[in-house]
Amino acid sequence: MTSHAGGARPNAAAPASRKGGFGARGGWLLFAGFLMVFGGLMMVFSGISAIARDDVFIPTPHYAYEFDLTGWGWIHLVLGVVVFCAGFAVIRGALWARIVGLALAGLSMVASFMWLPYTPFWALVLLAVDVLIVWALCTAPGLTGD
């Protein structure tokens, strides 16, 4: 029987807090998943409002990416539903959902950027949420064999 200096065994598993907080998925994946659910819901709400009452929005004249507001509403609605569903898959720990989540967050950033003339503040909020989603999905352990 030998004793070790700190009382720890040399082959003991690392505590969960060193692996990301919540087991193999890590806290960053939960953070990204919940942000995806939140961001997806917000895109759904903005899409519904653009489809139902597009006279609420004041479009900027001569915007380079000028599209029909009802069309943008449908884009936001569909993209929001897909981001929402992928967020739940990320929370459940599916690897495919992390990869799809990165692609969807990128598409959502483009859509939010093009939504700037209609609702500038809200589009910037959605852009910030998407940046946090990309950051959290990329820094979470497990994608590269951590």
Residue 7 pLDDT level (bands cut at 50, 70, 90) = low
Cβ–Cβ < 8 Å for 93, 24: yes
* Sign of the four-CA dihedral 84, 67, 119, 53: negative
pTM over 0.75: no
pLDDT tens for 74-102 read: 988 999 999 999 999 999 888 888 899 99
Share of the chain above pLDDT 90, in %: 27
Buried-state track 53-65, b at ≥16 Cβ within 10 A, e below 16: ebeebeeeeeeee
pLDDT tens for 102-125 read: 999 999 899 888 888 778 888 899
